[in-house]
A and B are shown apart, each in its own frame.
Chain A
Amino acid sequence: MIINEIERQIIKALQEVAPEIKKDDIDGDEDIREECDLDSMDFINYLAALQRSTGIKISEGDYSNFYTFNNAKAFIKLN
Chain B
Amino acid sequence: MTKSIDIIMPSLGADMTEGMLVEWLIKVGDKVQHGDIVAVLETQKGAIDMEVYDDGIIRELLVQPLETVPVGTVLGRLNETGLVQKALNQNAQIRNNKNVDELNVTSVNKNLYQTPVNHTKTVVNKSSDVTVNASPIVRKIANDQLLDLSIIKGSGFNDAVILKDIEALLNQATSKKPIYTRDEKLVSMRSAIATTMSQSNREIPHFYLSLDIPINNAQQWLQKTNQNKAPQTYTLLIAILLKAVAMTLKKYPELNGFYLNERFESSNKINIANVISLRTGGVVVPLIANIDQLTVLETMQAVRDITMRSRSINRGDRLRSSELSGATITTTNMGQIGADCVFGIIYPPQVAIIGFGKVKKVAQVCGEQINIGEQLTICLSADHRVIDGMLAAKFLNSLAKKLQKPEQL
Contacts and interface: CB of A to CB of B under 8 A. Distances in A.
A47 interface: yes
Interface in B255-312: 279, 303-304, 307-308, 311
B230 interface: yes
B226 A40 contact: no
Contacts of B308: 45
A55 interface: no
A39 B227 contact: no
B361 interface: no
A61 B228 contact: yes
Given A37-B279, A40-B336, A44-B236, A59 B230 contact: yes
A51 interface: yes
Nearest to A38: B337
A48 B232 contact: yes
Nearest to A18: B279
A76 B335 CA distance: 28
A44 B231 contact: yes
A49 B214 CA distance: 33
Contact of A60 (B228, B237, B311, B336): B228
B231 A45 contact: yes
A44 B231 CA distance: 5
A20 B303 CA distance: 23
Interface in B324-356: 335-337
A47 B231 contact: yes
A37 B232 contact: no
Contacts of A17: 311, 313
Nearest to B311: A17
B208 interface: no
Contacts of A57: 230
A45 B313 contact: yes
Interface string A50-77: 0100000111110100000000000000
B176 interface: no
Contact of B231 (A19, A39, A48): A48
B229 A59 contact: yes
A51 B232 CA distance: 9
Nearest to B236: A40
A63 B279 CA distance: 23
A35 to B, nearest CB: 12
21 contacts: A16-B313, A17-B311, A17-B313, A20-B279, A33-B337, A34-B337, A37-B279, A37-B337, A39-B337, A40-B335, A44-B234, A44-B236, A45-B313, A48-B231, A57-B230, A59-B229, A60-B226, A60-B227, A60-B229, A61-B227, A63-B231
Interface of B: 226-232, 234, 236-238, 279, 303-304, 307-308, 311, 313, 335-337
Q: Which 5 A-B pairs have the closest CB atoms?
A: A47-B231, A48-B231, A44-B231, A39-B335, A59-B228
